[in-house]
Chain A
Amino acid sequence: MTSQVDVAESTEGEPLSEPSPGAGMLGSGGDRPGSDRPGRDGQRGDGKRVTKLDRVVIRFAGDSGDGMQLTGDRFTTETAGFGNDLSTLPNFPAEIRAPAGTLPGVSSFQLHFADHDILTPGDAPHVLVAMNPAALKANLGDVPRGAEIIVNTDEFTKRALAKVGYAADPLGDGALDAYSVHPVPLTTLTVEALKDSGLARKDAERAKNMFALGLLSWMYHRPTEGTERFLRVKFANKPDIAEANVTAFRAGWNYGETTEDFAVSYEVAPATAAFPAGRYRNISGNLALAYGLVAASQQSGLPLFLGSYPITPASDILHELSKHKNFGVRTFQAEDEIAGIGAALGAAFGGSLGVTTTSGPGVALKSETIGLAVSLELPLLVIDIQRGGPSTGLPTKTEQADLLQAMYGRNGEAPVPIVAPATAAECFTAALEAARIALTYRTPVFLLSDGYLANGSEPWRIPEPQELPDLRVPFATEPNRPDGSFWPYLRDPETLARPWAVPGTPGLEHRVGGIEKQDGSGNISYDPANHDHMVRIRQAKVDGITVPDLTVDDPSPASGRGGPTGGAGLLVLGWGSTYGPIAAAVRRVRAAGGRVAQAHLRHLNPFPANLGEVLAGYDRVLVPEMNLGQLAHLLRAKYLVDAESFTQVTGLPFKAEQLADALTAHLRTADDTDTADAVDTTPEAGRDR
């Protein structure tokens, strides 16, 4: 579970080296180079061994039509229920069904689970399940030598191999000698298991992902009842298909149990110590965000109105909210992005909690309406699930390159507050926080999530309703002038928010619009001094938003020249979904003796009030981002600090090792030689890149 606070709660470091290659096949987890937790073997009566591992990274890879996302989801659900900590990375093409068997059509799902607190989906898999040659070819580069590879040999035909440019069969030409390969005729075995099902061969073949899931479930001692129940519910209308999938799933399990090729199975104990007491579930970022919006509606007592146009990777929020009409949630699938936000703003004028969900291209289209909301000073949530850009970019891949668009992407001076969750589960609290700011200050608010948070999942401690913030704000009900009239722009002196008077309130009839208005009365005004005043007061309102101070995790002993809370000379500062890899990297560096402080921004506009002080307390500030340095740009402009960027724009999250190397390099070049000398993460470094 990734920590919801800045300070990493666990003292457990992630292993300093990269994943333990071929853990079980080497006989003992203790052989894993660099492992910080030796495995322990147990011998079963039937000659099969059980090895205990502290953590495992599995990647399922296949064709877009092979059901890899479903397979990964099921494995994740069973793993969550078993009590491991986990983190996932679904990775799929934008094409719904790219041509079968091709490299662009490969879809994968990576899952990292452990008996302790983990922060990332893992840099590299210990086990790759490759359903066809394309999946093998597309993923092999990420798989460290010694790792286990399970291949569906049925798909390794001459034609399929040729399609992805394999001149010879890698299963036969020694290309995979460095790996522990399990050749399994998955398709044949599945069809054989279903020969009495009455299904046509083609339909039977489709259950091969469940066979693979069954096999992996055996290998890692996953519970099975949940998956069988899930399949029977999913295919309730097609009982024969349901039974076929269950049969294939069980056949996969039994295959692992009986075949000699799989001599070892693995136990990863529940991560009991990693979790504070409570009730848990597994949750993805988009689901957490949708729940956060429902919770914000309940906590504010305002009906939720979502105006949205389908766009990857945000559409799941629309789908989810459309299920919750019994909470009074109205979802409106608009004709375009502009209408989506327009309807949400119209609903906000009428007293709803107005929300629009989108991704970067949609934000570009909504910009004018966001500006209108700034001018109208109405609450509105603009949720941007960022993806690779510019333009259509990489619809299914992650990126953080909309920060400056959110910050500045409007005509005129149009400040908009920005919040950004750091983890999938944190999307829940981020939605509540965005709603708090919007409702308290009557302003549109950006929530910047991204594709990695949206689709990735992790365990989440389910909050009790009484833990949630009270978001109620009063509507205006009475005239606010001595003469009995109502001024729609007469501000609250503390928050600078204007009154929210909704239609249906007698005596408060008023007009609002995008033309500049007189502060107070709200009447159209072209007065130069008034415009200057209004521009400044809208900015002051956003600047004055109360946000929590930035907390810094800096456990190294104070040296007299470090930051405000510790002795490190280097601060690594991130925002958004880079939290997991940054925190994992910081653990590695610290475990190797490096002194590094970590802080993570949840509020990007306004910044926490103490940010300037935090930055000033460190000799060096490193800002990892999945863009070309947008936060660093803001920090340099505002605080005149020599913040250095470390950037990657591959459409994939950072790897912990890569960030650890970057931090180590910074420490080496720092003047603080004591610190630099203490760092040594070299043995396994670089293997993964």
Chain B
Amino acid sequence: MTAETHAFPSLSLVPKAAAPQSMKDFKSDQEVRWCPGCGDYAILAAVQSFLPELGLARENIVFVSGIGCSSRFPYYLNTYGMHSIHGRAPAIATGLAASRPDLSVWVVTGDGDALSIGGNHLIHALRRNVNLKILLFNNRIYGLTKGQYSPTSEVGKITKSTPMGSLDAPFNPLSLALGAEAGFVARTIDSDRKHLQSVLRAAAEHQGTALVEIYQNCNIFNDGAFDALKEPATRDDALIRLEHGQPIRFGAGNGQGVFRDPATGDLAVAEVTADNADRVLVHDAHAAGPTTAFALTRLAAQDTLHNTPIGVLRSVQRPVYDIQMQTQLDQAVAQRGPGDLATLLTGSDTWSVD
């Protein structure tokens, strides 16, 4: 299978399925054990119904997760999977992907798993650009440990561990990812299956590490955290749907637009008028530099979530770690021939005893 004929060139090394697949093929026989009403159900269904689209041999797909509610994900997919330990999924998946370029490796993680205990592995996976698709379920709370604030919780959050309000300033996961040299950064929402799948598709097409932040509702410990982005009354004014090559406009009648401040280079939202309509920023996900993508990640208000961009913020090609690693191995063989153990052990300085 050559890259030209593959629907997903980034997966050209992964064997294709012999026959068409359906959502049913990707459901495991395990009972799903999330709380009723959890946003994870919607994401699971979206992923299960998306995977057949890839057309990959199911046995060549692997989901690796850490610890947390979202990290139970692999158990419910009939692929290969590993439910590992807290925060380490990107590291484990890196070893798997780097040693097996014929696999499609996905990481499922949460805001605590990826950004708190596993923050180091996340940023290093992103900078290395291993062929991993990282799905970061962000519910802005610790669910599995029953409701402590997380590294994405808003300041002042009242939780079991912060009765007078949390003090820590939160991470913006996409700003962090861009700072870590991520080549692919996107955001979507659990309840919008169409958008979620379009982002998964773009992530799958990307060669290298893709980070997809999925806003996910925890209806037990942080219910309604993303209502501003979901309620018909508010969502149009809150959500900025990014489309590559299109002016960034949103709100009722597309009356709002994103503009660049010529003085600072920063981005701001303003009403679109006849005078400024031609100055609305045109989204370029493939821009070489990360500056504008970074500015987009800073648009949203942390408390109200107004002006939250969703879609693909950045998608640029960078050298892919696992491919380069294989290339070095191939080069070594080309230059020195396949390794010969007897020659290696003998070395250059030897003597004989008769």
Binds A, one of B79-87, B181-189, B221-229: B79-87
Are B80 and A330 in contact, with the CB atoms below 8 A?
Answer: no
A347 to B120, CA, bound (A): 20
Contacts of A367-394 to chain B: CB distance below 8 A? 368-369, 371-372, 376
Closest-by-CB residue of B relative to A288 is B345
Report if A533 contacts B (CB, 8 A). no
Chain B residues within 8 Å of chain A by Cβ, number: 60
Report if A637 contacts B (CB, 8 A). no
Question: How far is the CB of B282 from the nearest CB of chain A, in Å?
Answer: 37
Report if B4 contacts A (CB, 8 A). no
Report if B318 contacts A (CB, 8 A). no
Residues of A within 8 A of B332 (CB): 324-326
For A277, A280, A295, A350, the residue with the greatest tally of chain B CB atoms inside 10 Å of its CB is A350
Are A291 and B353 in contact, with the CB atoms below 8 A?
Answer: no
Which A residues have a C-beta under 8 Å from some C-beta of B?
A: 77, 80-83, 226, 272, 275-282, 291, 294-295, 298, 303, 305, 307, 324-330, 332, 334-336, 338-339, 342-352, 354, 368-369, 371-372, 376, 462-465, 503-515, 523-524
Given the contacts A280-B351, A504-B60, A332 and B83 also touching, CB distance less than 8 Å: no
Closest-by-CB residue of B relative to A274 is B353
Given the contacts A295-B341, A513-B75, A338 and B91 also touching, CB distance less than 8 Å: yes
A83 to B350, CA, bound (A): 10
Are A349 and B353 in contact, with the CB atoms below 8 A?
Answer: no
Residues of A within 8 A of B352 (CB): 278-280
Are A330 and B84 in contact, with the CB atoms below 8 A?
Answer: no
Residues of B within 8 A of A349 (CB): 82, 92, 96
Residues of A within 8 A of B92 (CB): 342-343, 345-346, 349
A303 to B91, CA, bound (A): 19
- Contact of A77 (CB < 8 Å), options: B88, B341, B342, B349: B349
A345 to B92, CA, bound (A): 6
Give the A-B contact count at a CB cut-off of 8 A: 203
Question: How far is the CB of B199 from the nearest CB of chain A, in Å?
Answer: 25
Report if B328 contacts A (CB, 8 A). yes
Question: How far is the CB of B267 from the nearest CB of chain A, in Å?
Answer: 32
Binds A, one of B97-105, B152-160, B190-198, B293-301: B97-105
A sample of 21 cross-chain residue pairs with beta-carbon separation below 8 angstroms, ordered by A number, consists of A280-B350, A280-B351, A281-B351, A294-B341, A305-B95, A326-B333, A339-B94, A342-B84, A346-B91, A346-B99, A347-B98, A352-B99, A369-B85, A371-B85, A376-B82, A462-B350, A464-B342, A511-B74, A513-B74, A513-B82, A524-B30
Complex interface bits, B103-126 against A, C-beta within 8 A gives 1, otherwise 0: 100000000000000001100100
Report if B59 contacts A (CB, 8 A). yes
- Contact of B345 (CB < 8 Å), options: A291, A354, A371, A510: A291
Question: How far is the CB of B332 from the nearest CB of chain A, in Å?
Answer: 4
Question: How far is the CB of B87 from the nearest CB of chain A, in Å?
Answer: 8
Closest CB pairs A-B (n = 4): A343-B95, A513-B83, A346-B95, A342-B91
Q: Name A's interface SS.
A: mixed
Closest-by-CB residue of A relative to B67 is A514
A508 to B58, CA, bound (A): 10
Given A509-B79, A511-B77, A512-B82, 5 more A-B residue pairs with CB atoms under 8 Å apart are: A81-B351, A326-B337, A342-B95, A343-B91, A503-B96
Residues of B within 8 A of A347 (CB): 95-96, 98-100
Are B99 and A303 in contact, with the CB atoms below 8 A?
Answer: yes
Report if B317 contacts A (CB, 8 A). no
Contacts of B264-291 to chain A: CB distance below 8 A? none
For A276, A295, A332, A509, the residue with the greatest tally of chain B CB atoms inside 10 Å of its CB is A509
Given the contacts A376-B82, A514-B83, A503 and B95 also touching, CB distance less than 8 Å: no
Given the contacts A326-B336, A503-B80, A504-B59, A80 and B351 also touching, CB distance less than 8 Å: yes
Report if B261 contacts A (CB, 8 A). no
Closest-by-CB residue of A relative to B57 is A506
Report if B177 contacts A (CB, 8 A). no
